[in-house]
Every structure is written in C-alpha cells, then in structure tokens.
Structure 1
C-alpha cells in the first residue's frame, strides 16, 4: 500500500511507542492470539459493560424511589398544614357565628347601641377634647409614623363626633397605647349609659379575646358605628361607612355581614394594613348579631395572626415535623405576597434581608420585615408554585423559591370561605435529595470496585490489542489536539484493520465538518452582534461569565401603557399581540429619531436610555422629547382605534450598569439607581402622565412645563418628582 506523508508521520509516531509484552508463547503456544483469545477479551468487556448496565439500572430505580419519597414527604406536609390552617380558620369562623348568636352578645349589642346613641348629645369638655387632640398629634401619630415609615394625616383620623371624642377621652387616651391595661378596665366612673353597658358586658368580651387570642373584638351598630372595642383602640366610636376607615377591609366585611341579614353566617376578609393597628396586616371575620331576622349589629373579630403563624411553622418546630434544616410551609395571597411569616426571617433575621434582596425583594421591604418580624403582606412570592396554585392547581414541582434557592415544592389552594389563599410546602433540593446523593455515591463506589476487578482480569489478555489501540490512540490525540486530516496506516485484515479504515474515513469526515463548523461560527458571530454591543460580545466569547459596565450621566425612561387590557379584552390573543407590537414598533421608531436606545420591552413596560453606548450632553432633553412623543403616538392610536390608552412614564438621570443577565438564556439589560428611580416615579401619582425626577427637570430647564407631583423616598432621602406636560403649540 502506498502511504501519504501524513500516513508516514502517523506510522512513525505509533511505532515509536514502547511495547510492553507478556510471554504469550508460554500462554498460547504461538506468537499471535487466535480468535478464541480475542473472544475471551470480548467476554471480559461484556462483563464490564454488564456491571455498568446493572449499576445504571439500579441507580435509576433507586434514585426514582428516593426522589418519589422526597416528593411524598413534602406533599404530606402540605396536606397536614393545609388541613390545620383550614381547621383553624373554620374554627374561628364558627366561633364568631356562635358568639354573635349568644344571648350575652345580643344584649351587649343592644346596650352599647343605646349607650352610644345617648352620647350623641354628650358634649365633651374642653379638657377631654384637648386630651384627645394631643394624643393623636403627640402619641399615636408619631408612633404610626415610626412603625410604618410613612406619615399619617392626624387631622383626618382625629375624632370629629362628640360620642367618639368622649369615649376615647375615657378609654383610649388615659392608657397611652397600653392595650392590656385598657382591656383590664371594667368601666369608667362617669355615670354614662355606655359605661354602664361596658361594666355589665365587657368581661364577656374580655374573656373571649383572652381565651381565643383574638387581636380585638368590635361591635358595630346598623349605622356603621363602632360602638364597642375590647381594646379601646383609635377605631372606637368611628363610623366605618363615613369615617376615615371607610375604605378598609373592616368596612367590606361589615357591609357583607349586615346585608346578609342572617345570624348563621360569617364573612372573612384577606389581610390588609390597618391604620388603628399602626399599619399592621389585619384580617376580619364578622357575623351579624341578633336572633332570627332581628339583627342589631355586627360582631367583628380581628383574626389572630400568631395563630396562623403557629400553624404554618408548627410552633417553630420545623425539624420535628420533617422539614429538616431548610423546609417550611407558607401561605400566599392573590397579590403574590405572604400571608404567614418566613422561616428564615424567624430563624436568621440577620441574613434574611440580604438573601431576599439578592433575589429581587426591594431593600425597604426586606428591612421592614426584619423590623416588624413578619412577612405578611410584605415578602413577594411570585414563584411558579404560587402562581399555579392561584390558578387552582395542586401539584409538586422543582423550581426557584423567593430566597433564590432551588427547592422541591408542593402547592395547592386553601379551602376557606372568603379567602383566595394558597399553601406551599418546600424544602431545598440539596436537602430533599441528599439520600439520592448518598445512594449514588455508594453505588458508584460499588460499581467502581467491580470495574477495577474486571479491569485487572482484562489486563492479562489485553496486550494483543495494545499496539493497534495505541496507534489509534496516538492518532486520536493528534485530532483532539486540533490537527485535522490525520490518518493511520492500515495493516492486516482483521477488525482492527477495519477500525483503522473507519478512523481514516472519520478523520476525513471531521475535516469536512470542521470547515462547515468554521463557516457556521462566522455566521454565529454575526448574529451575536445583533443581540449585544461588539465589546460585550467579544468578552462573552472569551468566556467571561459576569459581564457588566458602569455608565455615568445616562438618562433613563421606564414607560408602560395604561388601559391596554381594556382595549385587548374581547380580542383574540394574536390580535392583542399585534396591537401591542405595533405600539412597540412606533416607540422604537421614535427612539431612533431622538437618539434614544431601547434596552428591552415586554407586555408590562418599555425601558430605554440615552447616553449609554454613545455619551450625549443633551441626553436628558432627548429622553424628555422622546417620552412626550410617545404620548403623541398613543393619541394617534386612540384616534385610530377609538381607545383610551394613556402613558405612565418615569424619568431619571444618573449612573447605571449594563451587562448580560442569565446563564441559560443571556439577555443584555440595564439596571442601577437611575433605572430603579425611573420605575418608581411613574407611580408617584394615580393619574397617568410623564413624571421626572428633579435631576431631569434641572437639566432641561424651562423648555418643558413641569409641575410638582410629590416625592418618593429613597435611601438617600426624599426625591421630588415633577409632572411634565407637552409644550403649548406655538
């Protein structure tokens, strides 16, 4: 056979490999192995493969069994916690119904109604009025501000009726928010009909809230007046229909209970911040008070939050309940926030904030949870498990939780009248599947031991295969080192000769495919430049996993469209998407005209910047003109489609960071204080429009009319926000 230069080099390299030989003549009686010896080696190889196959089958079956056990465990916890919380809330609902029908409650309702009505003509003294006013301005108001981080409008909540002022001067103000002392008081010695009713019936309600751990118990008359409060808070004497708390969930549950006009029913609300409780999350269960159709009012019970937390945490005995070191069960509501407290917040408050912030929770929300020790209505849980449960599904899944951990989660809706809650039981996959890892390690060690034994036996008979195999190995190493077109000399006519010929065919095929790959790589490079800047693409191809750049003096706009859901309602999904894409195309064209760079767009918003890739001294003015142009785009759309779309946009200028986000699917994105503030200022007012920070307004001067729209609170303090309007046509 004629050899090419490449063939000759391959032959030289292979032949230069030192040979190690056993005395095959002593073993076989001749200088070469016969087919029987080769068959023996094949049988050893089959034994080796059999060991691997058996190990793989055992691994798959054992792994599946252990994983199924982990899913069963978290499902069992989900079911037990769901039953307990349903039983707890149903028990409270039933207790409220029974209490509202109790003769003591019925008589108390009538007595307090009469006593409260009598106070309508009771004029408080100047000292009483002054004491109440001072309590709200000097005590309750500052405490509310400190507890919530916001400022209460004291003038709005200060009592305005004689009855409310009179009662709070006797039962609220003297105790300076010491609710236990207020609860302990039987009645004031003022001789009023209301105090006489309290002296007779207060002990009944005191025992009720004490024994059942209610946060409070209220009696309301049929006109909406809170005629009695067990703890005598600032809601005592208010009117839920016309007073400052008329927009709370207490008003909602009161209306439902009163309209039902039957004493055999209860009504439940979801949690909502309640001003009299210093903004703490509050839920109510209410039932009409009376007998038969004779309803004298409504009994409203403030749901004990601690009771729900005790159920969901198992009295903080997670390990005893089979949740290990990382598992927990929590409740979530339709707003995708928690209705019970996070285990990590309870056990590790010092690290909780950093963990949830790193996974997208706003810093202020995380710090608020640490301050209050509660996650209710605060911690976002927009996970796949919560969303699926809110859609009515019951299942298990492996996904990422609100802490950013990979977890095994079991979820389902909670069956409680009046509540749209879901439950999620979860445990980190690293812990849930730890038995799988142990089983895998032991199986690998066992299989490895078998493989070693098989290999030692095979070595006794494998020397006949060493030379052709090493020749092929040398050629393969050259190919793996990047050399193409490598071929090996083919000698003999056995299977190894066929293998050599096949290798040569493969080598030639690899060279052809390498040429095709090189062409494809060049095409990929071109496509990559359409997704990100060239400098970023170069770093990404060089293997950098974290690519980010800091930019200064960049103007940012975050805009979304108000009313698009109304326009798309009734349309097919394709028609709705076509309308939205048409708007984004118009936005993109406007961005090109004004020198603005779109960063990303989605169904919920449009993010763009100016001065990011190309620094511009007039970046702020360009962003303002671009945003005002978007309003014109929407005006044309409204005129064409008879719609009422409006633009809600936030603008800021400052430092931002851009880079690639994600690992499986890389996305070029932008973030930073300016992006965050642009997103926040668009919500500073209820009315849609273009809202800009003071930095933007200072840069554009008087070119665009600007009016004060309020402030937003940031870590550096309050930031003024202005509403921008289109300049009048000249």
Structure 2
C-alpha cells in the first residue's frame, strides 16, 4: 500500500502568516496571551471550586440526615428510659402491691361465684357478633369463636359484668373484685391514659390476668394456657418472674395482639412487690402510634426542617417497619401506587391500609438496614427505598436496655431532593464563571494597554492601596527614575502592610476584650454609636451566687494567693456556665451574676440555671476539700422579666436589672445559710424528682425553697 503524501504549506502562505504576525502589535499579542491564560485559569479554578463546593454540599446534606437520625434515636431511647423508670417506681410501690393483692383475692373468690345462663349466652353473642367479627375484618379471615370463649368461672364472671357490658364499673357486681376495682381503677387508668399506653394489666404468679384497665377480652385469661398464650406477653411474663427482682423491667418488640384486634403492641413488664418479694407482674401495652408520633415529629416535617421527602423510621430484624411511613400518613393513595410499583405485594399494601399502619407490614430491606443490623452506623447514597426511589440513607442500630428489641433506625431522603443544592450550585458556578471570564476579557484589554505605560501601572497600584489592598507591589523593571520611583512605592506598600497588620492585631485584641465584657450583639450596637443600650427580656432565668468564707480566706493567705484562688474558681464557674448554656453577666467582690435566655431564648432556661447552680456548688466543695479552706456557696435563682444594658462611658459595664434580678438579690437578706434557693416560680417549673424544702416567705411574702439534694 502506498504511503499518504505529506502536506506542505506553500511558501506563499507561510510568508503571509509571517507578515500577519509581524503586523500585530506587542499590545495585541500580550492581550491575547493574557486572555488565554486568564480564561484557562478561571476555568480550572471554577472546576476545582465546583468540585469542592459540591462535595461540601453533599457532606452538609449527609450531616443533616445523620443529625436527624441521632435526634430521633435519642428521643426513642429517652422515651423507653422514661417509661422504664416510671414503671419501676410504680410497680415497686405500695399502691401496685396492694392493688395486685386485692385483685388476686377477688379473682380467686370469683371461681366459686355462679354465672347465669343468660350471662353465658351474652358472652357467646359478644364474641361471635363483636370481637371475632371485628378481628376477622382486620385480619382478613374469620377466626374460630370457640377458641376464644372464656374457660374459667372467674373469667366468665368478669367478662359478663365488664367486657360484654362495656363498663369500667358494674352496678350489679358486689364482689371483692368489684371493690378493688372501685378503689384502684382510676389510679391505673390515669397511668395508662396520661402516658399514652393502650392498656394496663396486673397478673398474679399463676399467669392470670386479674385486672385490666380496658376490661377487654384478655381480662381473666391466663397468659400461659389461655387463648393468647402465643403473644409476646407470655415470654415477657416468664422472664420477669424469673428475674426475681422488683426493680426489673422487660420490653418486648411490637407484635399483633389479638385482644386489641391485632394492633401492633409492645409490652413493658415489671414485677410487682415490696421489700424484694415478687407478688406478680404489671404489664403496660405500648401501641406503635406512640413510637410513630416521635419518629414523625408529630407529622410536622416542615417545622423539623426535613423538607419534602425526608423521613425517619424504625425497622425490626424481620425487615418490617416499626413505625409508620411518612407517605402512608400524608397520602395513602399515592403510597399504595408507589409501594406496589416498587415491588410490595398488593396484599401487603391492602393490609397496611386496612390496619391503618405500616408497622409490622411494610418491608424495608436494603443495604442500609442490613448494615445497621450488623451493628454498623453510617450513610449510603446508592440504595433504593421501599418506594423504589434512590435515596440518601443514614442508618444505625438502636439499642434499648432490658429488652429483646433489635431495631434499626434509618433516616432517608430522596437522592434528587437531598442533592438539589448541588444542581443549583452548578448553575450558579457556570453563571459566575461566565461573568468572570467576561470581566477578565475586558480587564485583559485594559492591562495590555497599561503594560506600556509604567506611570499608569503605578497609578493602578496606588489605587489598590487606597482601597485597602496593601499587598500591591509593582515590579521594578528598569534602572531609571521610573525604577527608583517603583522601588520607593514598593517600600511604602510594605510599610503600610506592616502597619495594617499591627492595626488588625490591635482590633482583634479590642474585639476579644469587648466580647469578654458584653454579648456580641451589644458589641455591634455599641460600635454603631448607640448612646443608651437597654433591652427588655421575658422569661429569663437569673442566678446570683456568693462565695461564703472568702473574707476568712483573705486573712489567711497573701494577696497574690487570694487573687489566684478567686481567679481559679471564677474560671471554673465560667467554664461550667458555657457548658450548660448560661451567660455570665458580671462578678463583683464575692458575688457572681449569670442568666439564661438573654441573647438566646431557651425553653429550658430554669433547668439549665439549676444545673449550673448545682455544678457551682460541686466546684466550691471540691475546691474547699482540695485547698483546705472553709468555703461554701450561697445561690439564689429566680425567673421573670429583666432589663439588660450598658452603663458608663470611660469604663463600660454590662449589667441586669428588673424584678427577677431584684428578687434574686433580696433572697440574700431572707436566707443566711449556704445552699441553693429558688423562688416559688422556679420551683413550679422544675421536675418533681428534684427535692426542695420550704424555708419561709421572706420580705416579698412569696415562698422560698431550698434545694435539699444536689443531682
């Protein structure tokens, strides 16, 4: 095969190119070089910045989802911890023990009480026409009535008088069980209803349900041998009795519970007894709706900042949800379409709609769930959710002590929604890069002309300095007068830059000093020239504390040691205040004034200030033990309206005034002993777990309380 001939430009064309290049001025050539270099630089920088910005936006979206996951995980574990503590306290008390004793005795007595044929027929009719019919409609098949009918005389008696009659108190019942019900029913009813439980049961040591708040079909049954022995309650009952400890609590996973028409129910079970003797068991039925309420933030996703598609849900080891789907709650019809399109069977979707929940119904298998079930925590952006959408997932295992829960928590958001900011950022980068390139083109033409004009170059550099850019330096390319002027200009630029750095350092020191005296918002206003700065605040919690014994210490140590001692204590107080979100106002002599809710409104300001006071007390106690000096803390806490502002001119002071502050100061006259004192307003806002002792009324004629136990 012949080789292709080489193409050689004619001699005439080469001479034409040379003539055109020769005719281009140096200014034109320089402008072209500057344009090509600048455009290439901007393009590279734009690309790099886009890559970095996109990565940061993706990281921000992921971090937001992780934060939502952690908030929900803490909320769920906190819920179970609160319920466990409450159940332990109540089941181990005398009320629960007395109730169980009374109901058990009454239940045993009913074994010998006659049940009329009419009552037995009413029971059979109720199970046939009401309970099994409703259970069949929910489950999708008709159950056998005979399998659920009461088998013991006591069970028939109780269900005839309470379950069939749909009554909490039967007027026709004069048994000992009825007397116990009249005495304790309201107490247990309040526990169940106020805490969102579905039902509450008391069981004796033989497995008999001797009491039920709802008086349902499980009243009088036996969890070991009765018709509902396959429920999760049986295992929890056995485990609770086997623990043989009155402070034990066991929590079961959600499972359908037939007496509640197969509603997904979890059980919190604890022994009942006093003095370490287990007398029976108390069981509280937790419906899945309570968990869903937390996982869906009360269905107010927008207020929680979750956007259009983000949601958090729980999943069990069986790969089924333990809380409701967001789309299921917002738009059931759309949920049906998308879930079936993603592969969920029609029967499963229909069951979720029939039950009114996706708990124990909707499968959510995916890589995130599998990783969480292996005990891992992390994020994924490659999986698809149960609706078939590509999603960003933050997953983690959920650990609940004293339970058989093996749940996983997943916070998800549709991929397109999560990374919508990246698309917007790309559009902005393209527009900005185009604008910058256009600006560079114009600037290149200008610089090309100015390159041949050294005086204008110095002028441009001088303009940069006048605008505050002291880094401007002009190259000294010649050894003539222009070169000398250029070098003198550069010396001036370096001198100005050095002075500017010194001024910046001084400004930073001034900023740090002012921020140590007042909040940042007041610093800006003070620098803005406001003459009188004062603000009114509502619902602010204040604490005024004094070190007692400092006068004796001052007589025992040198001045330097005294200042070091006080400085150490104040630094520890400041660190504790910052840790709990309390703002120090000022220190005076042996006093310390602080508040919560001034610059940042807080709903839990009273709790934060009390926590801070307790930490101050612990700091003083530790310091007294370590140093050997007899020091103690007196502190007064109040809440209400205050006025903050700046006073003075040569020496500016940030201070607080108002009723809340005045009352805190007044408590110093009303109380003399060391300790933490609070007003009645503060006491009313605190938890009952905190112990207070009334110490009098004082000049203001309102009750003063002293914290008797430091948490």
User: Which band: TM-score by shorter chain?
Assistant: 0.5 to 0.7
Residues 1:271 and 1:39: Cα distance change in structure 2 (over 3 Å): same
Q: In the alignment, which residue of structure 1 is the partner of 2:327?
A: 344
Matched-pair contact (CA < 8 Å) for 1:47–1:454: yes
Q: Does 1:123 align with 2:117?
A: no
Residue of 392, 411, 414 corresponding to 2:395: 411
**Offset of 1:444 from its aligned partner?**
1.1
Does the residue aligned with 2:278 lie in a helix, a strand or coil? strand
Residues 1:326 and 1:60: Cα distance change in structure 2 (over 3 Å): same
Q: Does 1:255 align with 2:241?
A: no
- Equivalents in 2 of 1:406, 1:214: separation in Å? 36
Residue of 246, 249, 253 corresponding to 1:270: 253
Residue of 184, 197, 206 corresponding to 1:223: 206
- Equivalents in 2 of 1:102, 1:216: separation in Å? 19
Residue of 304, 310, 314 corresponding to 1:327: 310
Q: Give per-residue Cα distances to partners, 1:609-656, cap 9 Å, x unaligned.
A: xxxxxxxxxxxxxxxxxxxxxxxxxxxxxxxxxxxxxxxxxxxxxxxx
Does the residue aligned with 2:150 lie in a helix, a strand or coil? coil
- Equivalents in 1 of 2:157, 2:206: separation in Å? 19
Following superposition of structure 1 onto structure 2, how do residues 587-598 of structure 1 map, counting pairs within 5 Å? none
Following superposition of structure 1 onto structure 2, how do residues 464-483 of structure 1 map, counting pairs within 5 Å? none
Q: In the alignment, which residue of structure 1 is the partner of 2:99?
A: 108
Q: In the alignment, which residue of structure 1 is the partner of 2:641?
A: none
Q: In the alignment, which residue of structure 1 is the partner of 2:386?
A: 402
Matched-pair contact (CA < 8 Å) for 2:197–2:286: yes
Does the residue aligned with 1:242 lie in a helix, a strand or coil? coil
- Equivalents in 1 of 2:394, 2:175: separation in Å? 57
- Equivalents in 1 of 2:294, 2:443: separation in Å? 61
- Equivalents in 2 of 1:44, 1:191: separation in Å? 102
Following superposition of structure 1 onto structure 2, how do residues 419-434 of structure 1 map, counting pairs within 5 Å? 419-434=405-420
**Offset of 1:371 from its aligned partner?**
2.7
Q: In the alignment, which residue of structure 2 is the partner of 1:213?
A: 196
Q: In the alignment, which residue of structure 1 is the partner of 2:274?
A: 291
Matched-pair contact (CA < 8 Å) for 1:262–1:292: no
Following superposition of structure 1 onto structure 2, how do residues 138-537 of structure 1 map, counting pairs within 5 Å? 138-175=129-166, 182=167, 185-398=168-381, 399-417=383-401, 418=403, 419-451=405-437
Q: In the alignment, which residue of structure 2 is the partner of 1:544?
A: none
- Equivalents in 1 of 2:308, 2:330: separation in Å? 10
Residue of 69, 72, 76 corresponding to 1:81: 72
Following superposition of structure 1 onto structure 2, how do residues 678-717 of structure 1 map, counting pairs within 5 Å? none
**Offset of 1:454 from its aligned partner?**
7.3
> Which protein has greater RCO, CA pairs closer than 8 Å, 6+ apart?
1
- Equivalents in 1 of 2:22, 2:124: separation in Å? 116
Q: In the alignment, which residue of structure 2 is the partner of 1:99?
A: 90
Q: In the alignment, which residue of structure 2 is the partner of 1:70?
A: 61
Structure 2 unaligned segments of length 5 or more: list them: 446-711
Structure 1 unaligned segments of length 5 or more: list them: 176-181, 460-730
Matched-pair contact (CA < 8 Å) for 1:263–1:288: yes
Matched-pair contact (CA < 8 Å) for 1:187–1:196: no
- Equivalents in 2 of 1:311, 1:119: separation in Å? 42
- Equivalents in 2 of 1:29, 1:252: separation in Å? 98
Q: Give per-residue Cα distances to partners, 1:307-341, cap 9 Å, x unaligned.
A: 21111111111111121111111111111111111
**Offset of 1:373 from its aligned partner?**
2.5
**Offset of 1:299 from its aligned partner?**
0.2
Q: In the alignment, which residue of structure 2 is the partner of 1:693?
A: none
Residue of 41, 60, 65 corresponding to 1:50: 41
The farther-off stretch of 445-454 and 203-212 is 445-454
Does the residue aligned with 2:179 lie in a helix, a strand or coil? helix
- Equivalents in 2 of 1:94, 1:189: separation in Å? 38
- Equivalents in 1 of 2:112, 2:85: separation in Å? 38
* TM-score, normalised via structure 1 length: 0.57
- Equivalents in 2 of 1:98, 1:352: separation in Å? 42
Does the residue aligned with 2:237 lie in a helix, a strand or coil? helix
- Equivalents in 2 of 1:414, 1:239: separation in Å? 32
Residues 1:453 and 1:204: Cα distance change in structure 2 (over 3 Å): closer
Q: Give per-residue Cα distances to partners, 1:41-75, cap 9 Å, x unaligned.
A: 56644433222110011111111111111111111
Say what the alpha-carbon RMSD is for the aligned residues. 3.0
**Offset of 1:292 from its aligned partner?**
2.6
- Equivalents in 2 of 1:253, 1:427: separation in Å? 36
- Equivalents in 2 of 1:330, 1:272: separation in Å? 17
Does the residue aligned with 1:291 lie in a helix, a strand or coil? coil
Matched-pair contact (CA < 8 Å) for 2:34–2:444: no
Aligned length: 439
